Amino acid sequence: MSLDRRRFLNACSSLGFASTLLPGVLYTIAAEAEDAKITAALIDHAALIAGIPIEPDQKAAMLSILNTNRKGFDELRALNMPNSVPPAIIFDPMPPGQTPASPPAGADPRKPLRVSPAPAIAGKDVPKDLNEIAFATARELGELVRRKKVSSLNLTEMYIARLKKYDPTLHFVVTITEERALAQAKEADKEVAAGKFRSRLHGVPWGGKDLLAVKGYPTTWGAGGFEHQMIDEDAAVVQRLDAAGAVLIAKLSLGSLAQGDRWFGGQTRNPWNPEQGSSGSSAGPGSATSAGCVGFSIGSETTGSISGPSTRCGVTGLRPTFGFVPRTGAMTLAWSLDKLGPLCRSVEDCALVMQAIWGPDGQDQACANAWFQWNAEYDWKKLRVGYLKDDFEMPWVQPTPPLVADATPEEKRAYERRKASEPAQMASREYDRKFDLAALEVFKKMGVQLIPVAFPEFPYDAMRGIINAESAAAFDWLTLTGRDKPLTDASGSSWPNTWRGARFYPAVEYIQANRARELAIRAFAKLYEQVDVIVTPTSGPSNQVAVTNQTGHPAVIVPNGLRGADAPATPAVVAGPGAVGPAGGAGNQGGGPHTPVSLTFLGGLYKDAETCALAHAYQQAAGFLKLHPPLA
């Protein structure tokens, strides 16, 4: 055939098909035909898009197979599988020959081995206006409740009042669980009075990303069309935090179906700069924690959704190793990538929350029998610490590739937008680089001998098809029924187009991408034979957010400074191929004047506690622990 790939895609577009649609569009065309048959001519067009040669004498043999397959698709769709049903294939990030550490005999799995010394706040009188302790850490709040210096009920009422006060500006609340929260707080106070102390989080108010099911309250997934969805269960992490005595006060916003920071209630805002979005998709947890409206929060990450809001809003986030925290009762976006984790005001807070939520629940089959126990006195000096040298030293805004000779009008417009944004991107990166270099000086003062490392080279961008295919399957019914239209109208989400395209991502290529992923996992295992933890700027040329989400490694994101009044204005984010910044919600972290920057610690698989120990030590040494936005 003489028709080239670009012209065929343009022809599809002119006929009303999105240019992202791949070979399976033929099934759609055939289904609309009266005889619902796939023809040899359709195979020719499909072969162009798939990039495979098909000889004329091979088509006849294919026709029977393809038409049979399409009938099978109809039978599978008739099952109407809900989002909560997982595939039979379970992802395991552990390479061959390695297993997570098992719990030691006789250890109490829900108690930390050691916590930090009693915070100074515990020895002082609590102010009459509890807003003065709104930005206290969960460790501090828990100690105040334990010592009966403040009641859980009073804390709960204070934080609920703050949610109501700041939500009109920041748009981080979907539902305040007030009745449930007040009942929990009263019960927590009764138990403290009786000498019963469930955990270091006992009586501490928290908020959960609204993809976590909570009985009696809507679970909206942040999406238009799901505003009144009720799920008759408590998510596993909700149950575990209930058992720890923590008090759930709100279901917090997420970008529509876990993408970005726009949801059916608007755009969640950054408390440091309310003209700016909070990043996503754990938009509400990042914003509410930063604004001192919850003691801590639970978010989720598939490819950047804890990292992005933690950086943008200046909070500390923990993205656990894949399979460390059960996702039962949480919305599925991608089975082999989704992770739940805390967003807090300190590393130790994250560790204390992790202490309550880790481990198998008997339902999430990807949840490993690994072991987490926080030890604030862990000897972090024995850890071998690597650093991504190029990410600290190289500018991560690369020059725009030359425009191809036969570029379409849209490609030309994208090229011009990217070229125009380069100076602002470079200025922002150069400004932020001083924070990265300052971090290296902090490590030097800590006595850490940093080991330069680089990620193994693999086509990580090509693995993006995994999340596209899995999320398209998770929300299959939206595409098939047209219920994806409210998503676009409500949030400008690009999921609908992504999912339409992903329906035609070949199964063979999905498997090949996962095989490449396995090779990357094995290569990372060799890298972690040389080091225990790797530190890096959160954004950089290595695109660590996207890469390490594919390999399942844990990350701790800590605030690393505050831009001054002289910082460049926020550069525009460039969309499309070659987009700046990590995928899946973290985006470009350039925040403009008076906004935070962050540093990321990447640990070995299921070495989350050790990674937290180093990040905790850095947070104490760097001096950014008490940063919070200028809110009353």
Positions marked catalytic: 209, 281, 305
Q: Residue 588 is encoded by which pair of tokens?
A: 């470009």
CA atoms 531, 282, 181, 155: torsion sign: positive
Q: Residue 450 is encoded by which pair of tokens?
A: 């940093």
Beta bridge pairs of residue 155: none
In the block, tokens 């984790």 appear at 341
Which among 280, 264, 203, 182 is positioned nearest to 229, based on CA atoms? 264
Cα dihedral 358/152/629/128 (nearest 10): -160
In the block, tokens 């690994």 appear at 370
Q: What are phi and psi of 343, to 5 degrees?
A: -120, 125
The Cα–Cα gap between 281 and 258 comes to: 5
Residue 320 to residues 149, 175, 220, 338, 367, Cα–Cα distance (Å): 33, 26, 24, 10, 11
Q: How many CB atoms lie within 10 A of CB 410?
A: 11
In the block, tokens 């000889």 appear at 55
The Cα–Cα gap between 27 and 564 comes to: 55
Sequence-separated (6 or more) residues with CB below 8 Å from residue 57: none
Write the secondary structure of 158-221 as one string of H (helix), E (strand) and C (coil). Answer: HHHHHHHHHHHHHCCEEEECHHHHHHHHHHHHHHHHCCCCCCCCCCCEEEEECCECCCCCECCC
Q: Residue 250 is encoded by which pair of tokens?
A: 């709100």
Sequence-separated (6 or more) residues with CB below 8 Å from residue 581: 539, 573, 587, 588, 589
Q: Residue 594 is encoded by which pair of tokens?
A: 């008076």
Alpha helices by DSSP H, 51-116: 56-77
In the block, tokens 């700041």 appear at 166
Measure CA of the first residue to CA of the last residue in the chain; give whole Å: 68
Are 261 and 305 spatial neighbours (Cβ–Cβ below 8 Å)? no
Return the percent helix, strand and coil in the chain, to nearest 5.
40, 10, 45
Kind and range of the H or E element at 13?
A: helix 5-14
Which among 178, 592, 183, 142 is positioned nearest to 344, based on CA atoms? 142
Q: How many CB atoms lie within 10 A of CB 449?
A: 8
Respond yes or no on whether the N-terminal peptide bond of residue 281 is cis (omega within 30° of 0). Answer: yes
Are 21 and 8 spatial neighbours (Cβ–Cβ below 8 Å)? no
Alpha helices by DSSP H, 201-291: 236-243, 283-290
Alpha helices by DSSP H, 528-604: 544-551
